[in-house]
Amino acid sequence: MPYNGNSIVRGKADFMKGQIIKDVIINKAASEKVARFFPWVYDNEILRCPQDIRRGELIKVCSPSGSFLGVGYINLKSTIAVRILSFVERPIDGAFLTEKISKAWERRQGLMRHTNACRVVHSEADDLSGLVVDYYNGYLSIQINTAGMENLRSGIISALERVIQPRGIYERSDARSRAKEGLDTTEGVLSGEIPDEIVVEEKGVRFCIRMRESQKTGFYLDQRRNREIVSSCVGEGFRVLDVFSNTGGFGIHAALRGAAAVTLVDVSSPALDLAAVNARLNGLKNVATAKADAFDYLDGAFKKGKRFDLIVLDPPSFTKTKSSRGGALKGYRRLMLAGLRLLKPEGYLAFFSCSHHISLEDLKRISLDAAEETDSRLEVVEHLFQDRDHPYMISIPQSFYLKGVLFRKSLP
Strand boundaries in 287-334, DSSP class E: 287-291, 308-313
65: left (phi over 0), alpha (psi -120 to 50) or beta: alpha
The residue count for the chain:
412
- 161: amino acid identity, one letter: E
Taking the C-alpha atoms of residue 244 and residue 70, their distance in angstroms, rounded to an integer, is: 41
> Rounded to a whole number, what is the distance in angstroms from the first to the last CA of the chain?
74
Q: What are phi and psi of 205, to 5 degrees?
A: -85, 130
Taking the C-alpha atoms of residue 125 and residue 38, their distance in angstroms, rounded to an integer, is: 10
Residues in Cβ contact with 353 at an 8 Å cutoff, skipping those fewer than 6 apart: 315, 317, 318, 332, 362, 363, 402, 403, 404
- How, if at all, do strands 187-192 and 198-202 pair? unpaired
CA nearest 166: which of 128, 114, 93, 116?
116
For 66-96, b where at least 16 C-beta lie within 10 A, e where not — what string? eebbbbbbbbbebebbbbbbbbebbbbeeeb
CA nearest 299: which of 333, 326, 334?
334
Catalytic residue among 62, 118, 233, 354: 354
Going by the DSSP 8-state scheme, the letter that residue 157 receives in this structure is: H
248: left (phi over 0), alpha (psi -120 to 50) or beta: left
Taking the C-alpha atoms of residue 292 and residue 243, their distance in angstroms, rounded to an integer, is: 10
- How, if at all, do strands 139-144 and 168-172 pair? parallel
Tell me if residue 354 is catalytic: yes
CA nearest 126: which of 155, 75, 83?
83
5: left (phi over 0), alpha (psi -120 to 50) or beta: left
Taking the C-alpha atoms of residue 284 and residue 282, their distance in angstroms, rounded to an integer, is: 6
CA 399 to chain centre: 8
- Residues annotated as catalytic are 354
